[in-house]
Amino acid sequence: MAWGRSARRDAAARGAAAALAAGLLALAGCASIPHGAGASPAAVNQRGPDGSTPLQWAVYGEDVAEVQRLIRAGADVSATNDYGATPMMLAAMTGNTAIIKLLLAAGASPESPNEEGQTALMLVARTGNVDAAKLLLRHGASVNARERFRGQTALMWAAARHHPQMMELLIDHGAEVNARSALYDYERHVTAEGRAKTEDTGGLTPLLFAARENCLACVDVLIAHHVDINLPDPDGYAPVTVAIMNANWDVAKRLILAGCDVNQWDIFGQGPLYAAIDVGDIASGGRGSNDPLNQATEHEIVHLLLERGANPNMQLFYRPKNRGFAGAGGLVSRGTTPLIRAAADGDVVVVKMLLASGADVHLYQADHETPVMAALSPQRGGGASEFRAVAVLRVLHAAGADVNVLSHVHPLKRTRGGTALEYATRLGWTRAMALLVMYGADVNAKDDDGLTALDYAMGRGYVPFLQTKHPPQWDLVKLLQGWGATVQLAKTPYWPPQGPPLGYAVYSPVIWPLGP
């Protein structure tokens, strides 16, 4: 799966490799082009240091007259340089119709595949030059050829590069709209440092490319040609989810309005609704927070999804693999709901929308982290301020949220759990603390470590990786004591220094029954 703009290795990368080859050719050969009228046939095909012939140079430089002259002088139109590039491939890269025409007339293959089966039509598809593509197709170029590196077709290249007219042409010539690129079944493993690693799995369709690349016109072309709008990638990411994960709200909107399945979850249990809230992340400057490209917004998409029956209570199976431990990933575990995710953002608008659509305020994560706790987890969930968190707390309370749930130690999240009051105390958020007490929070409740909110105010809490021990915060101590806090440990427990996570061989915390 490729959700991120940073991970786009498919179509674009192959183009870059070809460009690199041509670039090297440019650097290496400038001085060696034999000019002049009297060149012999041998001189015409004389190769430079990288194996390029004068014809390749002329094609690359889009010098039509020189191409014509060299062909007339007997230049080999099928010669490959040391990078496997033929004159036709170089012409296709620039999409120069006149040169392609000359080469075809001189007998060059309209396919001209390189060693990986990448054809001239694929390269032309990337340029968007429809006339050049027509020319190749007229000469018999195969429209559904696949290169062997990623199993991609010309249509995928056009979709990935925002060329809707090119897509129309290719589809009119029989391009498969539901073709899928090669599946890469990489093994995930744990490094010596103790972290699991992952790789993209590929398996993208033209629609997934277009959704990822925010090409609304491309999506329209595919919809008009009856593409399967729900066909997911191998990890189960639906096109609408891929659009959302890239904050391509306009594409997402188009797919939703076209009737896509609004509840198709991926292999991690993430549906479009969850993804929209996760990516929206407006409070923390997430990907969706500052987007000049789209008319639609996260809130509009959330609204549309809910209106069309998206289930607000779908819980994650696991933390999605595009979410590292940092940021929201640190909050997310099995059982995370859209409501929990929205609460972590301090996004009171979305919280209200979800509740109005039947979100269950009592559902918690595998370790019993509730929406209330998520609202009090800004360092993990997003950038919610106390101001925003308090607004969310009020709404959650009005919806019947229980403020006395105890969450548990979770080794994969590297959290120690606790009560909502402890969460607020650890942040020093006094207004949130006061609100929780007003809502009936037990000020003397103990967590799995036997600590109370008062202990946290005294700086006795667990010291996470890369953090330092807190000194006592006497203002918090006084507040808590004023509310009746009396229970505390006699002295600060010893917390051994923490390194990065090791010992993945635990299973019970990952699979606790989901609540309540």
Partner 1 sequence: MRRLSRRRFLRGGLEVLGAAASTGAALHTARATALGAPPQGAPGAAASISATDLIANDRGAMTLLTGGGCNVVAVRGPEGSLLVDGGLAASSGALLEAAAAATGNARVSTLIDTHWHPSQTGSNERVGREGGLIIAHEVTRLYLGRAALSSCYPGSYGPLPAVARPTKTTRDRDSLEFAGQHVDYVYLPAAHTDGDLYVHFPERNLLVAGGPVLGDTWPVLDIRNGAWVGGLVQAYETLASLARPDTRIVPANGPLVSGAEIARRRDIYQQLFKQLFVYFNKGFGADDVIAARPLKAYEAQLGDPARFLDGAYRSLFLAYVPD
Site string for partner 1, 79-108 (x = CB under 8 A): ------------------------------
Q: How far apart are CA 211 and CA 244, in angstroms?
A: 8
| Residue whose C-alpha is closest to residue 319's, from 295, 345, 340, 301 | 340
Task: State the minimum distance, in angstroms, from the CB of residue 504 to partner 1.
Answer: 5
Considering only 3, 209, 318, 439, the residue that binds partner 1 (CB under 8 A) is 318
Contacts of 512 (CB under 8 A, 6+ apart): 334, 335, 366, 367, 368, 408
Task: State the minimum distance, in angstroms, from the CB of residue 109 to partner 1.
Answer: 28
Task: State the minimum distance, in angstroms, from the CB of residue 364 to partner 1.
Answer: 11
Task: State the minimum distance, in angstroms, from the CB of residue 355 to partner 1.
Answer: 18
Centroid of chain to Cα 474: 44
Q: How far apart are CA 489 and CA 446, in angstroms?
A: 10
Binders of partner 1 among residues 160 to 219 (CB under 8 A) are 176, 178-180, 183-190, 195-199, 203, 205
CA angle 86, 90, 92 (to 5 degrees): 110
Matching residue, tokens 């403020």? 403
Considering only 69, 334, 408, 426, the residue that binds partner 1 (CB under 8 A) is 334
Using alpha carbons, list the distances in angstroms from residue 199 to 6, 188, 196, 243, 255: 13, 7, 11, 20, 27
Q: How far apart are CA 336 and CA 106, in angstroms?
A: 63
Binding span for partner 1 by CB under 8 A among 155-163, 454-462, 483-491, 499-507: 499-507
Considering only 54, 383, 417, 515, the residue that binds partner 1 (CB under 8 A) is 515
Task: State the minimum distance, in angstroms, from the CB of residue 387 to partner 1.
Answer: 31
Residue 285: count other Cβ atoms within 10 Å of its Cβ: 11
Task: State the minimum distance, in angstroms, from the CB of residue 195 to partner 1.
Answer: 5
Site string for partner 1, 260-289 (x = CB under 8 A): -x-xx--xxx--------------------
Residue whose CB is less far from partner 1, 114 or 322: 322
Q: Rule CB under 8 A: is residue 323 a binding residue for partner 1?
A: yes
Complete DSSP assignment for 359-395: --TT---TT---HHHHHT-HHHH----HHHHHHHHHH
Q: How far apart are CA 25 and CA 50, in angstroms?
A: 6
Considering only 232, 312, 327, 417, the residue that binds partner 1 (CB under 8 A) is 232
| Residue whose C-alpha is closest to residue 56's, from 112, 140, 128, 4 | 112
Considering only 324, 358, 440, 464, the residue that binds partner 1 (CB under 8 A) is 324
Q: Rule CB under 8 A: is residue 10 a binding residue for partner 1?
A: no
Residue whose CB is less far from partner 1, 107 or 516: 516
Q: Rule CB under 8 A: is residue 320 a binding residue for partner 1?
A: yes
* Residues within the interface to partner 1 (CB under 8 A): 176, 178-180, 183-190, 195-199, 203, 205, 228, 231-236, 261, 263-264, 267-269, 311, 313-314, 317-321, 323-326, 329, 334, 412, 500-501, 504-505, 507-508, 510-516
